[in-house]
Amino acid sequence: MHPAPHTNPLPGWLDGRDIERMNRYREYLDFYGGQQWTGRRRAGETRLTLNYARTLVQKTASYLFPRPVTFNVIPDGAGQEETVQRAERALNDVFARHDQHTIDFQSALDSAVLGDGAFKVTWSGRRGAPLVVPVDPASLWAWWEPDNPNEIYRVVQRYTIAAEEAGRLFPGARVPDQWGASKRLTVVEDWDTGHYFVSLGGEHVIDEPNPYGFIPYLIYPNIARPHEFWGASDLEDLVDVCRELNQRMTTLSRILHVAGYPITVLENVTGSDDIRAEAGAIWELPEDSRAYLLDMLGNGVGLHIDYVNLLYRQLHDLSETPRTAFGDSGRSLSGVALEVEIQPLIQKVMRKRRVWDAVYRKRNAMILALLEQYDGADFDGLRRTETVWGEVLPSDREGLVRSEAQLVAAGIHSHHQAMSQLGDTDPAPTWTEVLDERAALREMDMLPDGHPTTA
């Protein structure tokens, strides 16, 4: 059960909710930051931390977003070409204005670590534009339809701000003088499709109808769990292997450290004065005595190294990130063989892109709706978009150009779509320039009519 919307007990009630999820977030965030050992370190104990977890998460995110994405707005019918171009330009402008591509990359990192990511999409009157900001999922509580975990009907966010910031965030909200400018205030925003409620320092400051008509939060899983709303972290399967690798490498480091300072063993000797294991040393030993250096390495080091290599392989297998992704396959391979070897990482990236496709569809629809509602834009109700992704692997630019030219000539791709595939973030103005140049060349009798592709 949960309290009725917009009630005073809500801030305190949240403390006892989703404890397991919040603990999981903290554990994975600490692990990503390098706190990977369990138990307290003993005095003088050496602990090595090889933070493969962070490296592998960042590597996957880099393959997920090799370059900024672009969008194609899908028309509802014929004769909407100009409206489509206008909507695409508006989306590109929002992304460029807020450097949204960089923000999305950081959100992908956060979700890979925590297991969940979130955005808040609102209209900023101060900026006169839609505002798309990432939200810490640990500050969110969500309720979803019992027959569809992908459909949320209520979201609550809790965070803190300084009292002096309240006026900027909530214009017109009354801030009691006794709070003081430096006092930290707890903010609770409670949204459903019909209502919007804000509590500031325990005081109700906003209680009004939802101005947008939709819940302005978009919560997405890093990797969806079957039949669950909250997602899974990329670190789930790596924690045990990373900890074991740290322990084995630390043990090996200790052995090598001791082996660098050899232990001298003396037999049938009553004293050890003036006996030093150093270059040029001459020892005088009694009869029937013996001296030797203790071998701390032996076959044990080889076993340690074999075990470390096994852990290393398991780490790459579980993360679906072959060594080839780091630029070192260890052998000479053809282009096709390299693609086959890195296929696990491509499949992992494609799974993540399916999640992000849904994120972009929903988020772009919110942005277009806000522009129509607050900025007076007219997109003829267009909301559907498709994402144009960059190639996961480095591609042959010349080959891609030839392929797109053939698809356009065959009528399979439009010029607009080909430009998007080739990386043009705003193909509409480029295509207009092409048409203008062709018209100018025809007027100069340099381009025959009916021959649109050659000069």
Task: Give me the DSSP letters along 95-125.
Answer: HHHTTHHHHHHHHHHHHHHHSEEEEEEEEET
Going from N- to C-terminal start, the domains of the chain cover: 239-324, 395-455
CA distance 348 to 346: 5
The pLDDT value given to residue 454 = 44
Integer angstrom CA distances of residue 340 from 65, 80, 316, 325, 428: 21, 42, 15, 12, 37
Spatial distance between the Cα atoms of 261 and 239, rounded to a whole number of angstroms: 34
**What value does the CA radius of gyration of the chain take, rounded to a whole number of Å?**
31
Which residues of the chain, if any, have pLDDT below 50? 1, 453-455
Condensed to tens digits (0 to 9), the pLDDT of residues 139-170 reads 999 999 888 888 899 999 999 988 878 878 88
What sign results for the dihedral spanned by CA atoms 442, 446, 449, 454? negative
Q: Look at residue 275 in the predicted model and tell me its pLDDT.
A: 64
> Around Cβ 213, how many Cβ atoms within 10 Å?
11
**Per-residue confidence (pLDDT) for residue 16, from 0 to 100:** 78
The confidence score (pLDDT) of residue 177 equals 61
Q: What is the pLDDT of residue 214?
A: 93
Q: Tell me, what's the pLDDT at 305?
A: 86
**pLDDT tens digits for range 91-134:** 999 998 888 999 999 999 999 999 999 999 999 888 889 999 99
Q: How many CB atoms lie within 10 A of CB 189?
A: 21
CA 233 to centroid of chain Cα atoms: 11
pTM: 0.78
pLDDT at 7: 53
